[in-house]
Amino acid sequence: MLFQKIADTYHEFTVLRDVNLCIECDVCIGQCSYNVHYRDAVCFSDDVRSCIASDSSKCVGCLRCSALCPTGALSILSNDYCNGCSGTRQSALLRNIYKQAETGVKQSHAGRGHSNMPVYWDKLMLVAGATDTADVADITDKSLSSRSPNYLLNKPLLLDSTPHIAINPNLRTAMKMAADKLNLAEIRDKEISANGICAEEDSCEYGSCEYVRIPATHNVAKLALKAVDEGAKVLVIGGGSRGDGPFDRNDTQLMPIELAIGVVDNILRDEGVRESVFVIAASGIMCSSDVVKAVALGVDAVSIGAAMMIAVGCSLCGSCHTGKCPWGIATVESNLCKRQNPELAAEQMINVVNAWNQEIAEILESVGVASLSDMRVNKDILRAVGLSETEMKILGVEHAGQ
């Protein structure tokens, strides 16, 4: 573009406006917090008219405008195809280097822009009828109940309101509302708590406890063991994962959560302390089958925070660090925060969890397991497809066909 540096004009995304559909209602202008859309004077053959223009170089691909456009006139195209390279998100890589070349300033993504880690969940399949539960599940409900905290036992799903970036306080409110309504436990800053109503005196549904959060770094196993030695009852493993949700930034040093679950489970079992600790996986769970697989792989519960953010609009654009999230998620600016009405957000979260519960029930039925807690550390129900010996050893699963 004339008189401009490539660092300013290079765009990862192209905003496509169908002028036949656009009615120039200005909704997109109001919704974009990156000022992509604007009013411009355009010369026609005989007069000058005001019309809406878009500066694609500012677009982060959050899709807010196209979601709210009343006529569906906006499409956001990723420009990854344009340089013909293989691999994903090349355009983010180029954008970073162009910016660095121009300014000499560090960019938010140190690596290739967006994570390209494998998704092991997709390479694990659930097999029906392979289980002799009494034999395989060496951690039964009975042995679990000897551990504290009791109130977590029937709560394989948790909500995580402590992401490591600033999120809209309205969403914390919404998460609390959803957790209370669904009787889920919630990971807070210092504790994991549940406020469900105590139905019977002996089966306690509420309570709170401290926890230890460990990152899925290469020494996650040692960290886990150390925490247990120091008396931790609840471990929360935060892993690195694909996807660019609000919970997954700066993930280059973190391994995929599946491998972290595998090594932690292995070492705790080797040391004979698996039964004395409640393990929670706190990232990388994006769908209901991930929940089932994670529980089978060796955790007692999973936190589904990232999926909750998608439920309220997050499109994984990976621009959380700007603090200008147009969906009002990864932001604390008051004019953006109000885009999340806690009442509506809580309802969306509740709906997702309800839908997942139905799906999980179906999955459990199809593999012949009665409940999610029976699924705990039931690796025999998992089979790998296309994984190496090493990967399968870490995960503790056999290959499909074996």
Partner 1 sequence: MKRIFPDKKYCIGCKLCELACLVVHSVSKDLTSAYKNERVRGLAPSIQGIEKGETCVAVSCRHCEEPACVDACKAGALSKDSATGIVHYNASLCVGCWSCMAACPYDSIKQNKFSNKIIKCDLCSGREDGPACVQSCPNRSLKYEERSILYDGLEKSKISLEHSDGCGQSLGTDALIISGAEGDSAIGCTEHNFRVKFEAISKGLKRAVVVGSGHCGLKAAEILYESGVEVAIVEEASHVLPQESDGQAASLISRRIKDAGLTIKLGTAVRDVIRDDEGRVKGVLLSDRSFLEAGAVIFANGVSADISSISFCGLAMVSAGILGPELDLADDDVEYDSYFYCDEVKQIYRKLVFKDQLLVGYILVGDIESCSILTSFVKFRLDLDAESKKLLCSGVANLLMWPDNFFEKQWSPEKS
Q: Which residues bind partner 1 (CB under 8 A)?
A: 21, 23, 25-27, 30-31, 68, 70-71, 334-335, 338-341, 343-344
Q: With respect to partner 1, which residue has the nearer C-beta, 54 or 378?
A: 54
d(CA 303, CA 313): 18
Residue 205 Cβ, how far from partner 1 at the closest point, in Å? 29
Min dist. Cβ of residue 67 to partner 1 (A): 8
CA-based angle 208:214:216, to the nearest 5? 140
Minimum distance of partner 1 from residue 328's CB (angstroms) = 8
Q: Could you tell me the CA-to-CA distances from 150 to 208, 209, 236, 286 in Å, in that order?
A: 10, 10, 17, 26
Closer CB to partner 1, 62 or 285, in the complex: 62
Dist. CA 170–CA 330, nearest whole Å: 11
Compute the distance between CA of residue 59 and CA of residue 139 in angstroms, rounded to an integer.
50
Comparing CB distances to partner 1, the nearer of 341 and 388 is: 341
CB-nearer residue toward partner 1: 181 or 269: 181
CB under 8 Å to 246, separation ≥6 — which residues?
163, 165, 167, 306, 309, 314, 320, 325, 329, 330
Q: Which is nearer to partner 1, 131 or 331 (CB)?
A: 331
Which of 300, 339, 291 lies closest to 152, judged by CA?
300
Helices 220-229, 257-270: crossing angle, 10 deg rounding: 50
Closest CB 369 distance from partner 1, rounded Å: 39
Choice between 31 and 241, CB closer to partner 1: 31
Of 298 and 326, which has the nearer Cβ to partner 1?
Answer: 326
Cβ contact 174:312 at 8 Å:
yes
E-strand spans in 270-397?
278-281, 301-303, 382-384
Least distance between partner 1 and beta carbon 177 (Å): 14
Q: Which is nearer to partner 1, 21 or 287 (CB)?
A: 21
Of 301, 280, 294, the residue nearest 378 (C-alpha): 294
At its nearest, how many Å lie between partner 1 and the CB of residue 327? 11
Question: Residue 285 CB, nearest distance to partner 1 (Å)?
Answer: 27
Q: How far is the CB of 317 from partner 1 (least distance, A)?
A: 18
Q: Is 158 helix (H, G, I), strand (E, B) or coil?
A: strand
Of residues 373, 210, 198, the one with CA closest to residue 300: 373
Q: How many CB atoms lie within 10 A of CB 271?
A: 14
The minimum distance between CB 112 and partner 1, in angstroms, equals 34
**Interatomic CA distance for residues 84 and 74, integer angstroms:** 25
Q: Which is nearer to partner 1, 71 or 253 (CB)?
A: 71
Facing residues of 398 across strands? 383
